[in-house]
Amino acid sequence: MARIDDYKESFRLASVELKKRDAATLAKGAGALFSPEGGLTVSFLGANYRVEIHPETDIRKVNSSEEVSIPDKILIAHYLLGASVKKSTGKLITFRQIPDGHFYFEAFQRRARDPFANFFGNNERLFVKCAEMLGAAPVDIGDFGMDFPVFPHIRIQLVLWLGDEEFPPDATILFDEGVQRILSAEDIAVMSGSLVYRLIGLGRKIQSGA
């Protein structure tokens, strides 16, 4: 597991790269909004984030005092750096098919696929409800499939197969093939986990009546 110092260094390096780029060009490539003051606003998992690049890079959630985690800041920065043009291809792939995906596959399973299957595997109605709260739309894959707009040019499909007397519920996470030209395998694993844990957080709030 990455240490906090590793996260801080990763964000520092991303900040250095952001400062080398033209903010308006970054915004255009990433589907973000550019303001004359030089900042960007980009959507991530159903919320808008303000990215200030100069003099110091800072990422904050719009109209919220909620602290943005360092992993999410890194993801947003890496997305802005990688999304030079729209990369969607329409072809779906699994995490194993992503270059270097095999190196991070176990972490991906622990961080994203397993928590998703364990929490929602026997509660597909809760999955659909939480997914819709994040702006997802149904897709005709598995017993219950939902398509999530994670970033303007990145979508993730979460798929549930219901269990029966012989087999337990199963789950799959699918990506557009173009994601590998925007983010690294490690970033894709972190992004998937961020989506799943947001869904689980929503699910727990609903179950608790909060």
Task: For residue range 99-156, list pLDDT tens digits in order.
Answer: 899 999 999 999 999 999 999 998 999 999 999 999 999 999 999 999 999 999 999 9
Tell me, what's the pLDDT at 38? 67
Which residues, other chains included, contact 188 with Cβ-Cβ below 8 Å and sequence gap of 6+?
A: 95, 98, 101, 108, 175, 179, 180
Task: For residue range 2-18, list pLDDT tens digits in order.
Answer: 577 888 999 999 999 99
- Of the candidates 128, 97, 105, 102, the one whose C-alpha atom is nearest the C-alpha of residue 192 is 105
Question: How far is it, in rounded angstroms, from Cα 150 to Cα 176?
Answer: 12
How do the domains of the chain map onto residue ranges? Answer: 4-82, 92-208
Does CATH number 3.30.310 belong to domain 92-208? Answer: yes
What's the whole-model pTM score? 0.92
Name the DSSP class of 169: -
- Strand 47-52 and strand 40-44: the pairing is antiparallel
pLDDT greater than 50 at residue 1 = no
Question: How far is it, in rounded angstroms, from Cα 190 to Cα 9?
Answer: 16
Task: For residue range 31-58, list pLDDT tens digits in order.
Answer: 999 987 768 999 999 999 999 998 889 9
Task: For residue range 145-193, list pLDDT tens digits in order.
Answer: 999 999 999 999 999 998 777 888 899 999 999 999 999 999 999 999 9
In the block, residue with structure tokens 């520092």: 12
pLDDT band, residue 209 (cuts 50/70/90): confident
Name the DSSP class of 21: S
